[in-house]
Amino acid sequence: MTQEYKGTALVTGASSGIGAIYAHRLAKQGYDLIIVARNGERLKALASRLTDETGRTVETVAADLGDKADLARIEGMLKEDRSITLLVNNAGVGGTAPLLAADVDKMQEMIELNVTALMRLTYAAVPGFVTRGGGTIINIASIVAIAPELLNGVYGGTKAFVLAFSQSLKHELAEKNIRIQAVLPGATATEFWDIAGTPVEHLPNEIVMSAENMVDASLAGLEQGEFATIPSLEDAGQLAAYEQARQALMPNLSRTAPAKRYKIA
């Protein structure tokens, strides 16, 4: 059965793993696609498969979002292509090395991709979404956004930014018919781990989710209206309690007088 056309989804980091599966699932849902990644040959092969299977139009863009000129190209597409209704900010890189063993230049590159590129693409997309009356942004964060001690601290910091940025966007755009979803996957079976320096085979099997299950869970969460989706979290009440605790803090975070425990006699 042909799915109703839903506009165009632009997916970054789409040549493999999570991004490629998002592209597949969204094409099956009725989206045409713009798929972006560094590996142009992989993108072309994926586009051919998706078009054959779904009949959707798939445009490929070979681009390195860590390169300013390439990033500006994708920003331009988001600003100019009125058919785009969904942005999946998936492109990113990770790390497992502690500070004393990490290359600081690699950490800077991580920030440029995980933070700067995601922020700039979002800023490029949102004005058009507002003008056209709606849109959706899916930002791929990580469980390390709330548990940064699990992996490299800079990686955790970049994903904490993604979560905080998404939370702010949800608040800012609440009346603009723009959906914001932050996805916080745990360990997922992709090439991420090889690139980060710890092969996924070295992780306990019981904590690793397939990329297919991760994406399917995230899209189910989007359909259910979730802002934050943690695909492996069985008890949604735990996340609700976390958010309630955060909200309870907010009225007490900024006051004239120091807390009594800090007063010097």
Query: Which sequence positions are flagged as catalytic?
Result: 155
Q: Which residues pair with 179 in a beta bridge?
A: 136
Contact 211, 21 (CB under 8 A): yes
Q: Name which of 60, 52, 9 is nearest 30 in CA terms.
A: 9
Beta-carbon-side half-sphere exposure of residue 15 (alpha carbons within 13 Å): 18
42 exposure class (CB count in 10 Å sphere: 0-12, 13-18, 19+): middle
Beta-carbon-side half-sphere exposure of residue 56 (alpha carbons within 13 Å): 30
Contact 23, 33 (CB under 8 A): yes
Tokens of 77: 């597409």
* Interatomic CA distance for residues 93 and 79, integer angstroms: 25
Q: Name which of 88, 125, 110 is nearest 159 in CA terms.
A: 110
- DSSP-derived secondary structure for 232-261: T-S-HHHHHHHHHHHHHHGGGSS-SSPPGG
Contact 161, 104 (CB under 8 A): no
